[in-house]
Amino acid sequence: MAIDRRVQNNVCVVTFPLEAAASSPILNLVKILRPRTKSLYVISGGETDQMFQAKGMKNVASVTHRSYESPIKRAVSFALTNFQFLVRVIALRKRVGLFVFFIGGENLLIPMLGARLLGVKTLLMPAGDAGKVYMSSGDSLGKVLSVLTACSFFLADTLVLYSENTIVGIPLERYRHKIVIGHEGFIDFNRFSPTTSIAFRRQMVGFVGRLDKEKGILNLIHAIPMVLDKVPAEFVICGDGSLRRDVIDFLSSRELLPNVRIEGWINHEVLPRYFNEFRLLVLPSYTEGLPNVALEAMACGTPVLMTKVGALAEMATDGKEIFFLDSNDPQVIADSITSVLTDPSRLQQVSDAALNFVRTKFGYRSTSQAWDSLLPTLGIDGD
């Protein structure tokens, strides 16, 4: 089925229903694509809809997704959500020349298959190794979801990955012919910038992310007492998730709550204030793509200590723009935090280099140039 040339420059961004905490990447992508397409559509759900409505964006189609603990109910809900997306993809089939499957897009096999059967091009931008996330979290549907994810990689016309590491990690070697290395967004340096020098911040260590197994939060909290045995420090945990109760119970049982502040989800608008309080951000994840939270922290001059996974492992240098963990074993995390906090001159050097790193690689101009090169290869010229 040939695409009408009058709509080939129209693009639709498709994301799994999102919480407000995941709003920054999709907002960045929309800002990049909007001036480069004739018409831009979005299919999503959750708090994303409210976010776009508040910004006055039209052409937003909503999808509702419900989560359940029961594996059977979760499977049914997941399938129903996929069919909701399929209905909206079909409705846009004569108005769109490219569907961009973004955050959670690898989970949307049915609408992606529908787009392919309708003859509309598809681009998939996986945030990381979703299959590994499902398996590491002990998800009862992990194996099924991993197979569906692998099928999505097969179906997509083009894969945009953050780095060569992603190709090897998933692995996606067989799809090199349709892989483009790049990233989706940029950092708003008007909001994310240093307001407090690292030298004047307290010994505060932060974590920002989902309280789920794949983010390594349990590894981090088990490292906290080892750190406190050696150096005085404060810990701030920002986020929510399935392990929230486990985190609180552990900290309470070890009488660590006086040293650890649990904030819950933090509005993205106030994240810069937290980053400018942290002396160190720790991300002991099992898998990552290109973590926006790390880039935003670096833009605030906050050194990041993270496991050597995802795109930053390829782009940044250990001890120069970032600190990498040898593993996310609690003892390794504790030793690394202690080493960093007790070396203020090294902290200052990495703070300065991290800021320069993100300003050079993740500004609006550099990201725009990457998309200006990619879109014409997909038949999008913006006219």
Please tell me the predicted confidence (pLDDT) of residue 339: 97
In a domain, 383, yes or no: no
Shared domain for 357 and 368, answered yes or no, is no
In a domain, 1, yes or no: no
In a domain, 95, yes or no: yes
Peptide bond into 291 cis (omega under 30): no
In a domain, 281, yes or no: yes
Spatial contact of 378 and 123, defined as CB atoms under 8 Å apart = yes
Percent of the chain at pLDDT > 90 equals 54
CA separation for the pair 155, 96 (Å, rounded):
18
Please tell me the predicted confidence (pLDDT) of residue 349: 97
Among 95-99, 184-188, 229-233, 374-378, the range scoring the smallest mean pLDDT is 184-188
Shared domain for 44 and 159, answered yes or no, is yes
Please tell me the predicted confidence (pLDDT) of residue 305: 98
At 223-275, the pLDDT tens digits run: 999 999 999 999 999 999 889 999 999 999 999 999 999 999 888 889 999 99
In a domain, 192, yes or no: no
At 70-107, the pLDDT tens digits run: 888 988 999 999 999 999 999 999 999 999 999 889 98
* Domain, as residue range, for 254: 198-361
pTM, 2 dp: 0.82
Contacts of 79 (CB under 8 A, 6+ apart): 110
CA separation for the pair 274, 277 (Å, rounded):
5
Shared domain for 163 and 283, answered yes or no, is no
CA separation for the pair 118, 94 (Å, rounded):
9
In a domain, 246, yes or no: yes
CA separation for the pair 12, 162 (Å, rounded):
21
Closest CA to 272 of 168, 340, 191: 191
CATH of the domain at 71: 3.40.50.2000
In a domain, 245, yes or no: yes
Please tell me the predicted confidence (pLDDT) of residue 314: 85
Shared domain for 159 and 239, answered yes or no, is no
Contacts of 135 (CB under 8 A, 6+ apart): 142, 143, 146
Shared domain for 24 and 52, answered yes or no, is yes
CA separation for the pair 90, 110 (Å, rounded):
11
In a domain, 149, yes or no: yes
Shared domain for 202 and 223, answered yes or no, is yes
Look up residue 81 and give its two tokens. Answer: 């959500």
| Pairing of the two strands 179-181 and 323-325 | unpaired
Shared domain for 153 and 269, answered yes or no, is no
3-state secondary structure of 46: strand
Shared domain for 104 and 129, answered yes or no, is yes
Please tell me the predicted confidence (pLDDT) of residue 4: 59
Shared domain for 230 and 318, answered yes or no, is yes
Task: Find residue 120's DSSP bridge partners.
Answer: none
Tell me what the mean pLDDT of segment 111-136 comes to. 80
Shared domain for 51 and 121, answered yes or no, is yes
Shared domain for 140 and 284, answered yes or no, is no
